[in-house]
Amino acid sequence: MDKKNIDWANLGFGYVQTEKRYVSNFKNGAWDNGVVTEDANIVLNECAGVLQYAQTVFEGLKAYTTEDGRIVTFRPDLNADRLAESCKRLEIPVFPKEQFLESIKEVVKANKDYVPPYGSGATLYIRPYIFGTNPVIGVKPAEEYQYRVFTTPVGPYFKGGVKPLTLKVSDFDRAAPHGTGHIKAGLNYAMSLHAIVTAHEEGYDENMYLDAATRTKVEETGGANFLFVTKDNTVVTPKSNSILPSITRRSLMVVAEKYLGLKVEEREVHFDEIKDFAECGLCGTAAVISPVGKIVNKGEEICFPSGMSEMGPTTKKLYETLTGIQMGRIEAPEGWIFEIK
């Protein structure tokens, strides 16, 4: 095996086409066995369900090389479960869990030369997704679907060092109560684009979304969950039915409690109490945790004591422990590491 000649450390987060992808089709009420193919393009009818009514869901995870040279992914069973929940909410036939895990294994194996080496900070990002393919013009679920998985190498998230983020409390809402905020659907991102472009134009890194019903409680950002640390070192994460259940956040809560011996709470978090927290971070597959230094609400600034130049001490311990588990430097809880072989 020959690693591709890529400048791993200087890769960004962009699409770099790799050689192989996995494809399975749903037709006549069943998913087929799926194949690994070379064709990166999709030919669809002009009236395909996904193009008209956005019937599509996705997942995101990573493969990387551990310290001892194994290629692994992190808790892909939870991606399979979450994809199933997303499918059910959008009337898409559930993709079987065993086949999901097999597809991840096959596609990573087929692109193993694109899995960045240990220590480069880069990873192979894996994108599974499903979309309605047959013509749909009257509003209803499609009858035929395609499941695909492609991979793309992505660079280290904290290139040039960690830089705490500045957030804006968005004037827009991300998710309605009883809506689709808890599933990983492209539609949640389509409607967030205007909000994030606006926030960037105003000089912010990300949006903090509040609950749409009362606009008093913290939900999440466009693509990452919140973790807060109180002054007495309790790790707090917002609880809400309209937050997307981040696998990174759920894992960090286990790390906080079981590895670091910290108190953890998943509960409603009121915007008013943010000013009393010691640290704040955003959790997701891309960065694991990005520290937040400042949150601005209609011109009023909340600055966390951890400051604008580094991660807070507890955020840093959480980050180092979870990345240590992922990279094989720290023993993982049973079932967290899925080896590709």
Ligand X SMILES: *Cc1c(COP(=O)(O)O)cnc(C)c1O
**In the complex, least distance from residue 104 CB atom to ligand X, rounded to whole angstroms:** 14
Which residues 261-300 are close enough to bind ligand X by CB under 6 A? 283-285
* E-only strand ranges, 196-327: 206-208, 225-229, 235-238, 264-267, 279-284, 288-297, 300-303
Could you give the CA distance from residue 51 to residue 317 in angstroms, rounded to a whole number? 44
Which residues 221-250 are close enough to bind ligand X by CB under 6 A? 223-225, 244, 246-249
End-to-end CA distance of the chain: 13
**In the complex, least distance from residue 95 CB atom to ligand X, rounded to whole angstroms:** 17
Helix (H, G, I), strand (E, B) or coil at 247: helix
Is there binding between residue 123 and ligand X (CB under 6 A)? no
- For residues 48 and 308, the answer to whether their CB atoms sit within 8 Å is no
**In the complex, least distance from residue 231 CB atom to ligand X, rounded to whole angstroms:** 26
From residue 21 to residue 60, what is the string marking binding to ligand X with x (rule CB under 6 A)?
Answer: ---------------------------------------x
Q: Count the site residues for ligand X by CB under 6 A.
A: 14
Instruction: Closer to ligand X by CB, 107 or 247: give it.
Output: 247
**In the complex, least distance from residue 246 CB atom to ligand X, rounded to whole angstroms:** 3
Is there binding between residue 220 and ligand X (CB under 6 A)? yes
Is there binding between residue 218 and ligand X (CB under 6 A)? no
DSSP letters, 17-80, are: --S-EEEEEEETTEE---EEES-------TTBHHHHH--EEE--EEEEE-TTS-EEEE-HHHHH
Other beta carbons within 10 angstroms of residue 114's beta carbon come to: 22
**In the complex, least distance from residue 224 CB atom to ligand X, rounded to whole angstroms:** 5
Instruction: Closer to ligand X by CB, 107 or 287: give it.
Output: 287
Of the candidates 41, 44, 23, the one whose C-alpha atom is nearest the C-alpha of residue 33 is 23
**In the complex, least distance from residue 248 CB atom to ligand X, rounded to whole angstroms:** 3
The sign one gets for the Cα dihedral 155, 160, 163, 166 is negative
Instruction: Closer to ligand X by CB, 106 or 219: give it.
Output: 219
Instruction: Closer to ligand X by CB, 50 or 224: give it.
Output: 224
Q: Cite the active site residues.
A: 184
Instruction: Closer to ligand X by CB, 120 or 246: give it.
Output: 246
Q: Which stretch binds ligand X (CB under 6 A): 132-140, 193-201, 203-211, 218-226?
A: 218-226
- For residues 279 and 304, the answer to whether their CB atoms sit within 8 Å is yes
Which residues 60-119 are close enough to bind ligand X by CB under 6 A? 60
**CA–CA–CA angle 18, 20, 26 (5° rounding):** 130
DSSP state of 218: B
Instruction: Closer to ligand X by CB, 55 or 207: give it.
Output: 207
Residue ranges in contact with ligand X by CB under 6 A: 60, 184, 220, 223-225, 244, 246-249, 283-285
